[in-house]
Amino acid sequence: MRNLVLLATLALVPVLGGCIPLLVGGAATTGVLVAADRRSVGSVTEDQEIELKVAERVRDSYQDRIHINATSYNRIVLLTGEVPSAAIKAEIEKTVASINNVRGVHNEIAVSETTSTLSNRAHDSFVTSKVKARFVDAAKFQPNHVKVVTERGVVYLLGLVTREEAEQAVEIARTTSDVKRVVKLFQYIQ
């Protein structure tokens, strides 16, 4: 029962994440999250700014013709989603790479005539929640040190981690139901 409640709670995080800072108070919430993060406060802030700039530039250029997610971790951006052509995929990568403070880009955008459905995206959020819940249950490392992003059943793992933490995170994610593949995008620390 405890795991079911934890899983249900984690499943709601992506949906309600934008509401919580408004209810609790942005500074207090951010302070708690930053305290458990290995990135500096400056890096966390820059990552948030980078994600906002990517969303703004992509929205301005393409409106609703594409589906793109940008996740910045320690100023390295993971791009996921779908676009209708390889040319647009390359153009978006170039645009993101030119944003101030971006140190690198992992372009995992799929070229597809159709974008993922709301049902597909909800399932990806559920997979992310299952992986995160298993991180907590395993208690092998601090779960906040690993960022989990799921797109089309592929789980991307980002974070500032030791090699041992990376191995543990990959094994947990790899053995989680509905995970098609795991992609490691870690930055290693000593």
The CATH number that applies at residue 171 is 3.30.1340.30
Name the residue with higher pLDDT: 33 or 116: 116
Give the orientation angle of helix 2-16 with respect to helix 118-138, to 10 degrees.
130
Write out pLDDT tens, residues 57-107: 998 898 888 999 999 999 999 999 999 999 999 999 999 999 999 999 999
Q: Are residues 26 and 65 in the same domain?
A: no
Residues 138 and 180 in one domain: yes
31 and 90 in a single domain? The answer is: no
Residues 133 and 94 in one domain: no
Residue with tokens 């791009």: 79
Average pLDDT, integer, range 41-67: 94
Band (25; pLDDT cuts 50, 70, 90): very low
Q: Which of 94, 111, 128 is the last residue of a domain?
A: 111
Mark whether 181 and 143 lie in a shared domain: yes
Do 177 and 131 have their domain in common? Answer: yes
Residues 86 and 84: their CA atoms lie apart, in Å, by 7
Same domain, 129 and 190: yes
Nearest to 107 by CA among 125, 121, 89, 124: 89
pTM value is 0.81
Name the domain boundary from 111, 136, 159: 111
Q: For 147-166, write each residue's pLDDT tens digit.
A: 999 999 999 999 999 999 99
**Could you tell me what percent of the chain has a pLDDT over 90?**
74
Task: Provide the pairing of β-strand 181-188 with 154-161.
Answer: parallel
109: Cβ–Cβ under 8 A, 6 or more apart, which residues?
68, 79, 80, 81, 82, 83, 89, 92, 93
115 SS3 class: coil
In 3D, which of 16, 20, 72 has the Cα closest to residue 45? 72
- Which residues lie closer than 8 Å to 38 by C-beta, 6 or more apart? 145, 159, 160, 189
Contact 95/57 with Cβ under 8 angstroms? yes
Which token pair is 91? 């153009």
Number of domains present in the structure of the chain = 2
Residue type, 16: L
**Domain shared by 135 and 187, yes or no:** yes
Judgement on whether residues 129 and 68 belong to the same structural domain of the protein: no
Q: How does the average pLDDT of the chain come out, rounded?
A: 87
Tell whether 184 and 140 lie within a shared domain: yes
* Domain region containing 79: 41-111
Indicate whether 105 and 47 sit together in one domain. Answer: yes
CB atoms within 10 A of CB 37: 21
Of 88, 111, 134, the one marking the end of a domain is: 111
Identify the sign of the CA torsion 163, 164, 169, 175: positive
Retrieve residue 164's tokens.
Answer: 């041992």
pLDDT single digits (tens) 129-152 = 999 999 999 999 999 999 999 999
Please tell me the total number of residues recorded for the chain in this structure: 190
Mean pLDDT within 114-120? 92
Task: Identify whether residues 28 and 47 lie together within a single domain.
Answer: no
